[in-house]
Chains A and B, each alone.
Chain A
Amino acid sequence: DQQVKQNSPSLSVQEGRISILNCDYTNSMFDYFLWYKKYPAEGPTFLISISSIKDKNEDGRFTVFLNKSAKHLSLHIVPSQPGDSAVYFCAADMSGGSYIPTFGRGTSLIVHP
């Protein structure tokens, strides 16, 4: 049973528009959430994170929103660029836990010029 779900395997967006990637979780013990970006033939790289004490975290064009009551988080990319085309993984972790994050299956984002 997936505790972290990314229900959209793929997303296609026009350059300059907003990309919204979604992630849902079921375990209420999760209190820290991360997004990783993965290009083909490379390892994932950390992109942005958010603690459960916040509902928004922003880093340049990337913003992550957390809705704890809905157990939902989203990554917004504004404006989207062709270089943002990659697979994005959502991950959830818990403080004082076992240092084993739980990953979603990823969403492949394609940004068309």
Chain B
Amino acid sequence: DAGITQSPRHKVTETGTPVTLRCHQTENHRYMYWYRQDPGHGLRLIHYSYGVKDTDKGEVSDGYSVSRSKTEDFLLTLESATSSQTSVYFCAIRDFNYEQYFGPGTRLTVT
């Protein structure tokens, strides 16, 4: 199994609060991704990174920011959480092959 972890695994937060989710890999893969999974929408890309300090937006990036200061860590921040951001968040990593390896997910509930 690819070494990829996410923390926290579960979080409940209130509307308007900032939230940071962490993705950590031990594979030294160049590419890292944040997705959200919602019923009827599948996996939607929020942001991705193609190297340290190199990030770009995905299809649902509004309300989210990311940072990657080290190869192994990719942080996703919800600047001011809203109920529409209640979801399951998956981090993924990839090297120069096509296959992605996904983390176990973070279930976020915004009340």
Contacts and interface: CB of A to CB of B under 8 A. Distances in A.
Interface residues of B, number: 21
Contacts of B101: 46
By size class, the interface of chain A is 20 to 34
B46 to A, nearest CB: 12
A34 B98 CA distance: 8
Contacts of B92: 43
What's the dominant secondary structure at chain A's contact region? Answer: loop
Nearest to A2: B42
A105 B41 contact: yes
Contacts of B105: 41-43
Contacts of A100: 45, 48, 58
Interface string A38-67: 000111111001000000000000000000
Nearest to B1: A45
B99 A34 contact: yes
Given A42-B104, A43-B104, A43-B105, A103 B99 contact: no
Contacts of A106: 42-43
Given A34-B98, A99-B94, A105-B41, 5 more contacts: A32-B98, A44-B43, A99-B48, A99-B50, A100-B45
A32 B99 CA distance: 10
A43 B43 contact: no
Nearest to A44: B102
